[in-house]
Structure 1
Amino acid sequence: MGRLFWKFFFFIWLAQLTTIAAVSTTFWLEHRAQEERLAQLGRNPPPSPELRPDGRPFPPGRFLRPGGPPRPGFPFVPVVPLVATLLASLIFAALLAWYFSKPIRNLRSAFEAVVNGDLAVRLGPVMGKRSDELADLGRNFDRMASHLSTLIDGQRRLLHDVSHELRSPLARLQAAIGLARQQPEKLESSLGRIERESERMDKLVGELLTLSRLEAGVMGAMDETISMDELVSDVVADARFEAEYIGRTVQYSGRGEALVKGNAELLHRALENVVRNALRHTPEGGMVALEVHLDASGNDVRFAVLDQGPGVPEKELNAIFEPFMRGESSQYNDGHGLGLAIARRVVEAHGGRIRAANRAGGGLCVEIVLPATCG
């Protein structure tokens, strides 16, 4: 038994003993008050036992008989009930102390396991069918441990993916440098390769820094009133310029003026990431459609990007918003898989939500819903 058990036991039993003492004291005081009332009446005990109506004497002892004075003797003390009550209180205090201290001991053991790196420990099974505050504390611990496990697994996966993403351009840089040394006549092409790989690494590091700031909650001012029509028009203009170069088209349709409160630069980057992702997965000659409108209630702004790409397997629809997730079936692996992850963080920071769904006619639809403002 731990110290907590004995503390519970001591205080519970002390409370029960106090109750028993209070009851016994009350009984004693009542008895003394009865004696004093009889003394005031001037009634003295008779010299000899009086008889019952049937001729038999009353038993010895101090009691009130009808029409007669009290008998001499000792006051009645309920010894047997008191001893039984003490024993019952001991058992009850022990059971109650065990009931309260056991889940706390389990919680302490679970915390020690987490400190030692075991994030798989759970308290739900050992709590049984309890439905009190201690059981709620155990369920909160399980949620905390599960969330910590998810975060740590995500950090490990992120570190692995970053290492993998950096290794490839570094390897190509080393190959280009070696080629330039071995074949001086190809110096110009080698320098071009070094420049492209340097830009690729710079872009990757920039996106990682952006993602890190978003996850840390460092997003700057979030109190701008943004016109979604103007913001999307800027995104569409940039997307059409890029689409024309790679042989795609961009179609835009907007209905109604919509205002959003937040950070215009972050929202521009989030929408741009979604649109560029759609352009990258749309085949040459295809079209990317953008739609912006207020919902029927006027409380939300809906922004949809529809491409004509191969779509995404159903099991990967949620995973594509994770860092470095590009899909096993994707044939376009020239990106880092950070664009949609950044978009999701930005949208959630603005109180919105983002989701992806496969279109019935082929392709993917990414929908962003943001809370509208009145201005």
Structure 2
Amino acid sequence: MTSLRARLLLAFGALGLALLVGLGGALFLVLRGLEADAADGALTDTAVQLVASARTRLAAGAAATTIVAELQSAIQPLDLTLLVVDGRGDVLARSSPAGSPAHVDLTRPGPRGTLAHGQYAADGQTFAFVAVTISGRAAAIGSRVLVLARRDTSGVAALGDLARALFVALVVMLIVGGSLATLLARSIARPLERLAAATSDVSKGVLPPALPLDGPAEMARLSASFNVMSAEVAQSRQAQRDLLANVRHDLRTPVTVIGGYAQALQDGTASGPDAVRAAAAIAQETTRLEGMVHELGALSDLEAGGRALRLQQLDALELARAAATRFASSAEAAGQAIEAPSDPSPIPFAGDRSAIERILGNLVRNALAAAPSPGGHVRLEAAALPAGATLGGAAVLLAVRDDGPGIPPEALPRVFERFFRADPAREGPGSGLGLAIVAELARVHGGRAFAEDPAGGGARVGVVLPVLPGRPAGVAPDLPS
């Protein structure tokens, strides 16, 4: 298969050759015309000079053949044919039988100072001629006309000149054009070759360094798109590695607890009240594992597409207050305070109630786990956002803020990944999937989730949802209570 660079060079060569041929044809026509004009001008000048001598000899009573014989020596070095014809164009005398017709057409007017000009054919050749009156008037009986003719070789001469010019042009084109074509082909082919090599590396599992954005604009855009794709692949692979590490971390505690207590029950180490506590611990960790599996299934169903959202008119303030009430007792038991929004005006929007309640529940649960215990404080927020503020159209904001240690800046972009923990050493009762579910539920509503470190410490995590989802707003799984 011919390489792109070779095809480009061939294309440039063919284009250059076509231009050269076209230019050569035009140049040939121009040169031929110029040479013919120059030869005709010289022929006319010579004829005008000869006719003066011819008139003198004719006035002295010389015959046509005598006039031609006496003038022949003057034209012999010039390779011209001299004729004397009558007023009708019939040849009366000739300097040589070769290249002499029996009749010359005198109907085409010639340049100033001449009678006629034109061409005639003789001996298989074409001759250009000019006619000048020796005596009498044109076409009159008894008039005599001097005709001087030359072989019409202007095309041959022009072709020779053209061949030399084209040869020089071809050499210049091969040197200059070939160099430019090579540079241009290289500038186009090199980015593609780099891109092909980088794509091959990706297919082998090796992520290449970022491609330089050089070459034509289209190649630069293609390289930029590849760099974005490569970065996303690298991010995806890192997320997969982190996911496996986080899953291992989150499963280690319940598996260790279940295995330890099961072994104690099996070998009789735990008996009586200890056996009851062991069974309770096993049941608790089993429930935790079941919840993790259930949430994983819910998240996978959400990403793949589950049932359609059951949209209804909701009030963001009412939902936030209900969430605060739902978690008030557990917060109080941990010595924490939970604050609901106090704005009296409702904030209406369309959404799936169970999905929004799940979003708020996960956010509050996450905030209570991060806030100090005792003494921590968690505040729920609900607000209406004007059109164009974040999603293009009117939107609502639901957020939960805590006064915990906050989220490290480098962890903010990843808090919504599955099993991600900003502090891997920190154990918690959750599944590690709560914020991932929040982000997916916001997405299927046509909104987005966000996390930030506000001024004053702590963390603020929430969602922005459109007042009217732009689609039958996505899908949601059957959510566990």
State the TM-score, normalized to the length of structure 2. Answer: 0.64
Is the CA contact 1:204–1:336 (under 8 Å) kept in the aligned structure 2? Answer: yes
Tell me the secondary structure at the aligned position of residue 118 of structure 1: coil
Q: Note the C-alpha offset of 1:353.
A: 3.8
Is the CA contact 2:243–2:420 (under 8 Å) kept in the aligned structure 1? Answer: no
Moved over 6 A (4+): 65-71
Is the CA contact 2:417–2:435 (under 8 Å) kept in the aligned structure 1? Answer: yes
1:345 corresponds to = 440
Q: How does 1:35-184 map to 2 (within 5 A)?
A: 46=43, 72-73=152-153, 74-76=156-158, 77-86=161-170, 87=174, 88-124=176-212, 127-128=213-214, 130=215, 132-183=217-268, 184=271
Cα distance change, pair 244–226 in 1 and its aligned pair in 2 (3 A): farther
Tell me the secondary structure at the aligned position of residue 284 of structure 2: helix
1:302 is aligned, of 376, 381, 397, to: 397
2:293 corresponds to = 205
1:10 corresponds to = 10
Q: Note the C-alpha offset of 1:192.
A: 1.2
Query: Within the alignment, does 1:275 sit opposite 2:275 as a pair?
Result: no
Name whichever structure is richer in helix by fraction.
1
Q: Note the C-alpha offset of 1:9.
A: 1.1
Cα distance change, pair 90–348 in 1 and its aligned pair in 2 (3 A): same
Q: Note the C-alpha offset of 1:108.
A: 0.8
Q: Distance in 2 between matches of 1:131 and 1:24?
A: 32
Deviation readout 1:253-290 (Å, 9 max, x if unpaired): 25333233444333321221111111222322543221
Is the CA contact 1:259–1:373 (under 8 Å) kept in the aligned structure 2? Answer: no
2:82 corresponds to = none
AA matched with 2:383: H
Q: Distance in 2 between matches of 1:66 and 1:7?
A: 58
Is the CA contact 2:28–2:162 (under 8 Å) kept in the aligned structure 1? Answer: no
AA matched with 1:354: F
1:188 corresponds to = 276
AA matched with 1:85: A
Cα distance change, pair 82–217 in 1 and its aligned pair in 2 (3 A): farther
AA matched with 2:432: G
Name whichever structure is richer in strand by fraction.
2
Cα distance change, pair 355–111 in 1 and its aligned pair in 2 (3 A): same
AA matched with 1:89: G
User: How many percent of aligned residue pairs carry the same amino acid?
Assistant: 26
Query: Within the alignment, does 1:357 sit opposite 2:453 as a pair?
Result: yes
Q: Distance in 1 between matches of 2:15 and 2:28?
A: 20
Q: Distance in 1 between matches of 2:41 and 2:403?
A: 114
2:23 corresponds to = 23
AA matched with 1:91: S
Tell me the secondary structure at the aligned position of residue 340 of structure 1: helix
AA matched with 2:308: A
Cα distance change, pair 264–10 in 1 and its aligned pair in 2 (3 A): farther
1:236 corresponds to = 324
Cα distance change, pair 312–351 in 1 and its aligned pair in 2 (3 A): closer
Deviation readout 1:166-216 (Å, 9 max, x if unpaired): 2332222121111112224343222212111111111122222333344x3
Is the CA contact 2:320–2:398 (under 8 Å) kept in the aligned structure 1? Answer: no
Q: Distance in 2 between matches of 1:285 and 1:91?
A: 78
Tell me the secondary structure at the aligned position of residue 208 of structure 2: coil
CA RMSD of aligned residues (A): 3.8
Structure ID, larger Rg: 2
**Farther off after superposition, 5-14 or 302-311:** 302-311
Cα distance change, pair 27–289 in 1 and its aligned pair in 2 (3 A): same
AA matched with 2:196: R
**Farther off after superposition, 132-141 or 235-244:** 235-244
Q: Distance in 1 between matches of 2:78 and 2:285?
A: 113
1:293 corresponds to = 383
Q: Distance in 1 between matches of 2:7 and 2:442?
A: 51
Q: Note the C-alpha offset of 1:134.
A: 0.6
1:218 is aligned, of 305, 317, 330, to: 305
State the TM-score, normalized to the length of structure 1. Answer: 0.80
Q: Give the aligned length.
A: 357
AA matched with 1:293: A
Deviation readout 1:4-63 (Å, 9 max, x if unpaired): 11111112211221222222233445677x59x99xxxx8995996799xxxx9x989xx
Q: Note the C-alpha offset of 1:347.
A: 2.5
